[in-house]
Amino acid sequence: MIVLNGVTKKYGTKKVLDDVSFKVQGGEFVSLVGESGAGKTTLIHALIGATDVDKGEITVDDYEVSSLNRNKIQDYRRRVGIVFQDYKLLPKKTVFENVAFALEVAGYEKDFIKKRTVSVLKIAGLEDLRNNFPRQLSGGEQQKTAIARALVHAPELLFADEPTGNLDYESTDSLVRLFRKINQSGTTVILATHNRGVVDKLKKRVIKLESGKVISDKENSGYN
């Protein structure tokens, strides 16, 4: 479970997160919406321990994210999946290698790495593209590779910040289906986006930010 309690973050005198409080249960799918500058990215960064907050607490399962030291943050980050707008793939590695690499650096044995990588490539619908390099992929396929990589440690929680920001309509649609599938398999998904079409299609819980404040929090909702 994710619990935010009175989370406030300032840049200079400007509050970019202003007394943000909400809870997310395991298995939920939450879209975090709001216009550009509303504070979505700052909130995702706070949730993954990439930025300190000035006030309030963030707890994710057993982790008090808002007060973790550097070692514990690394440990926490390995337990969550994170996807960004830019795919951050390694250009000289294939799809398979990009995904497998995350397991190699964690020291798993070869057989396990192969099995696990094949399995997440299948989830992401990338089996046929496993030997392609990133430059041989569409934007949507690159983002799916990034998602497969984020899933490789079987996280209970997946954070995505504007994952469809660089994609056309069809790739976006296909990605939305993938996020839905990942959520249906039990993973909690927190999706920050300003894309109305995506949110309207999902019809899940929508938390809306405006000037750093939560202005609405609705189940089975569209963007508005």
Ligand X SMILES: Nc1ncnc2c1ncn2[C@@H]1O[C@H](COP(=O)(O)OP(=O)(O)O)[C@@H](O)[C@H]1O
Candidate segments 36-44, 123-131, 182-190, 216-224, binder of Mg ion by CB under 5 A: 36-44
Residue with tokens 């202005």: 215
Strand order across the 204-210 sheet: 80-83, 157-161, 188-193, 29-33, 204-210, 213-221
Q: Which of 31, 41, 183, 221 binds Mg ion (CB under 5 A)?
A: 41
Does residue 39 bind ligand X (CB under 6 A)? yes
CB of 144 to ligand X, least distance (A): 22
Residue with tokens 């707008």: 85
Candidate segments 22-30, 36-44, 87-95, 200-208, binder of ligand X by CB under 6 A: 36-44
> In 3D, which of 163, 164, 165, 201 has the Cα closest to residue 180?
201
Q: Which does 164 bind (CB under 5 to 8 A by kind): Mg ion, ligand X, none?
A: none
In angstroms, rounded to a whole number, what is the distance separating the alpha carbons of residues 150 and 145? 9
Does residue 16 bind ligand X (CB under 6 A)? yes
In angstroms, rounded to a whole number, what is the distance separating the alpha carbons of residues 108 and 199? 37
Does residue 27 bind ligand X (CB under 6 A)? no
Does residue 98 bind Mg ion (CB under 5 A)? no
DSSP state of 176: H
Q: Pull the structure tokens for residue 143.
A: 């983002």
Q: Which of 42, 171, 172, 195 binds ligand X (CB under 6 A)?
A: 42
CB of 61 to ligand X, least distance (A): 24
Of 15 and 180, nearer to ligand X (C-beta) is 15
Q: Which does 39 bind (CB under 5 to 8 A by kind): Mg ion, ligand X, none?
A: ligand X
CB of 16 to ligand X, least distance (A): 4
CB of 208 to ligand X, least distance (A): 11
CA 182 to chain centre: 11
Does residue 190 bind ligand X (CB under 6 A)? no
Does residue 206 bind ligand X (CB under 6 A)? no
Q: Which of 31, 41, 172, 221 binds ligand X (CB under 6 A)?
A: 41
Q: Pull the structure tokens for residue 114.
A: 């192969």
- The separation between the first and the last C-alpha atoms of the chain, rounded to the nearest angstrom, is 25
Q: Are 96 and 130 in contact (CB under 8 A)?
A: yes
How many residues in the shown chain lie near Mg ion by CB under 5 A? 2
Q: Pull the structure tokens for residue 2.
A: 């994710």
What are phi and psi for residue 61, nearest 5 degrees? 50, -120
Interaction site with Mg ion (CB under 5 A): 40-41
Interaction site with ligand X (CB under 6 A): 11, 16, 34, 36-42
